[in-house]
Amino acid sequence: MVAFFRNKGFRISLIFLFAMILLQGLGQTQQQYVITARVVDADNTPLEGVTVKIAETAHSTRTDQAGVFLLPVPNTGSYSIALSSIGFRVQRQEIEAQQPDRVNTNLIILRRNARQMDEVAVAGRSETRQLKEQGFAVNAIDTRRLANTTADLNQVLNRSTGVKVREQGGMGSDFEFSVNGLSGSAVKFFMDGVPLDIMGSAMSLNNIPVNLADRIEVYKGVAPIELGSDALGGAVNIVTNKSLANYLDISHSYGSFQSNQSALNTQYVHHPTGLVFKASGFLNYSKNNYLMRDVEAVENNAFVLRDLPRFNDRYRSIMGRFEVGVVNKSWADALFIGVGYTDFDKQVQTGVRQSIVYGNVSRDGNAKAASLRYSKTGLLADKLDLSLFANYSRDYSVVADTVLRNYRWDGSYTEGNSETGTFGLATVKRPRIFTRANANYRLSGHHKLSLNYTLDQIENNAYNAYYVENDDMPGKLGKHIVGLAYQHEWFDRWTNTFMAKYYGLSTEKRQYDYGVQGMVNVSDYNSYYGYAIASVYKWAPHAGIKASYENTYRLQDVNEMFGDGFQIFNNLDLKPEASNNMNLGLYYGLQSGKHDWFVEALGTYRNVKDFISPNQYANNMIQYQNLTNSLVRGVEGEVRYGYGNWLSAMVNLTYQQAIDNTKYLNNDPSNGISSTYESEIPNRPWLFGNFDLGITKQGWPNYDSRLQLNLMTHFTQWYYRSWANISTENSTEIIPKQLIHSAIVSYATPGGKYNISFECRNLTNELTFDNFRLQRPGRACYVKLRYLLIQNN
């Protein structure tokens, strides 16, 4: 651990932190009084982001996650404050100034504004806008307005600026998710701050119904340390319903390719005792038998091109989760224990190229998980907030390839080798322990310290169950991440967050040693250090400039090092990715009457060393490899407009360039200049954008009912499938330009209790491609029924 403090970058970060703390301490000697309180709603739920203004000084702040605000004032006495938040009545109140070290006993209850609560679109715009005005480069997506659609979270995120999702097929297919040109494991996924994949392989963005989420946050580059991750390219955090109301949300959809999706989300709160019961789950099924165009078939002993349906692509997944706990106790704001189960059954139609056709390959698996979470705010004179989470899971999957046949798209076959090249039952078992602890300490109204520790340990057991019963060479991967952050706010305009991080990677592998002529256990531990700063300066209430920089690492994942026993080949020589990430952005918001404008632009720069990228290893397999240096640059912009609560429009465009910046192979000039030096990295879109138009008719045909129409267009410019210097624009190594139109019509009865929606994707039935030029589904239509019951106490 001595080396932990010897690192130059880490020492610089600590100097920043202690300097800011010293300045804060000096400032406190001049301001001896504060006004502070905890703000909650009628259910005693803390309210974050409430604006608090002092009439006498014109100073303002916002409540934190615990609902607490703290403002310094020059003198003792009584002050008039005004509290405001979308969906609540403006409240004015007198509050007494106090010494900073006194325990905060003030409690303010805000009452909801019924009229504003009906204007969900307006409220959603304001909540997401607050996130966009932070120092982090972040997309904030209000998913409540999309709850009646059949979209999964991948489809929602693919319309977000800077984000590109490329799927290999229909429902449940593998996908590549990129943020500002970085993809794969460089982007981490969370649900309420907890890694999504701890619930197993079936828990994925492309099978989670949209109505299980309230909001999605996409952090680009620098992410809050509270997530406790080694995300290098960004992080996606799915935020679920946090209210203490009793509710039942149940839905079912049916559509093309025999697709069925069911979802359940419910909660019961016994307010006298504080007991809470929560349950959620989903069931997805599809045959995915969409038409493949111009694929090879055999007729009269000759190859011909035909349009044929996919015949080995059925998908099914289920998820169930139950939690029980207590809230609003003197010793805990929340304490929950939970159990979860996921299961999937997936036929596999192709390899990484659609010329490789499978007819009897399948993949299935399940995962079981148990968790404990605890949170408490207002400790140590209302200054300290704590949260803890622990989870144990067991993930199991198997790929079955036991037929010695080579298939074609018409279902015919010839006897031959195994389809995938891995005959048998490729089995993977992965026990996993995950723990995370967060502490936030408010030094004063404008200064805060945060500390995070995360342990993530995965054991990998991969073997062919057709021949053996266990893995005689198992591996284990452990990540230890420590994050320290200091945040301060100057003059209610300039906010800076300084961060320092420690990454520890432990590996254990049992392998054969030729020296001793036997099996030995090999272990290793490596340490890495990073630092970051995120800053925003607001020159107007809804206008500002923000910048962020980080020197960071992304540790290897278990799939990348040990493979998945199927289409990913292992690479034990992988090194962590290291990157210098920079963002520079502007935003401007304007509200005038019913008109609501929001414009933002962002420039991004990623200089990645030892870049981990999937590369074709064989016709049907990939292997993750380190590219010594990669450079990713981009610009993006988005314009949003809303008129009242009946019209919304959005247009965004993203340009990005990812190049191989490795001049010499293996950093050895004697090898000569690499043939791909300064060439674009293949299979990466470089220009794409979206246009959305939403029209809502409130009170038609009945009072308080709602009719909504959404029109969406997605554009992707052509891009290279392989290295640009060996491709031509007219070859099959080019993935062509695509323009996809979709439409949704939804209707909600008064109060939103009963809902129905009709959706059609790819209206014009365009031939579309995605990852490695794999064909995507053509026109597809769906209908969804949803029942929503909310009971406020």
Question: For the segment 262-275, what is each residue's pLDDT rounded down to a tens digit?
Answer: 999 999 988 888 89
Judge if 621 and 480 occupy the same domain: yes
CB neighbour burial string for 667-705, b if at least 16 within 10 angstroms, e if fewer: eeeeeeebebbebbbbbbbbbbbbbbbbebebeeeeeeb
Tell me which DSSP letter residue 60 carries. Answer: E
Judge if 624 and 709 occupy the same domain: yes
Q: What length is written for the chain? A: 793
Judge if 321 and 367 occupy the same domain: yes
pTM, full prediction: 0.82
- Residues 602, 584: contact at Cβ < 8 Å? yes
3-state secondary structure at position 605: strand
Judge if 89 and 147 occupy the same domain: no
Choosing from 57, 89, 115, the residue where a domain stops is 115
Peptide bond into 272 cis (omega under 30): no
Choosing from 94, 115, 136, the residue where a domain stops is 115
* CATH code of the domain covering residue 35: 2.60.40.1120
Judge if 57 and 133 occupy the same domain: no
Residue 575, in any domain of the structure: yes
Query: What was the pLDDT predicted at 27?
Result: 43
Q: Domains in the chain: how many in total?
A: 2
Judge if 89 and 157 occupy the same domain: no
d(C-alpha 346, C-alpha 369), whole Å? 21
Judge if 544 and 650 occupy the same domain: yes
Judge if 127 and 89 occupy the same domain: no
Q: Which residues contact 533 (CB under 8 A, 6 or more apart)?
A: 16, 496, 497, 498, 499, 548, 549, 550
Amino acid at residue number 645: N
Q: What is the pLDDT of residues 82-138, one digit of tens each?
A: 888 766 777 888 888 877 656 566 788 887 664 443 444 444 445 666 677 677 888
Residue 12, in any domain of the structure: no
For the chain, list residues with pLDDT below 70: 1-32, 43, 56-60, 64-66, 86-87, 100-105, 112-130, 133, 564-567, 616, 618-620, 627, 666-667, 724-732, 771-772, 792-793
**Tokens, residue 183:** 């993809």
Judge if 649 and 753 occupy the same domain: yes
Choosing from 95, 115, 135, the residue where a domain stops is 115
Residue 25, in any domain of the structure: no
Strand partners, 788: 249
Strands 595-618 and 738-748, bridge-based pairing? unpaired
Domain that holds residue 95: 31-115
Judge if 145 and 94 occupy the same domain: no
d(C-alpha 94, C-alpha 635), whole Å? 47
Judge if 98 and 208 occupy the same domain: no
Residue 456, in any domain of the structure: yes
3-state secondary structure at position 153: helix
Query: What was the pLDDT predicted at 21?
Result: 44
Strand ranges across the sheet with 68-73? 68-73, 33-40, 107-109
Judge if 67 and 51 occupy the same domain: yes
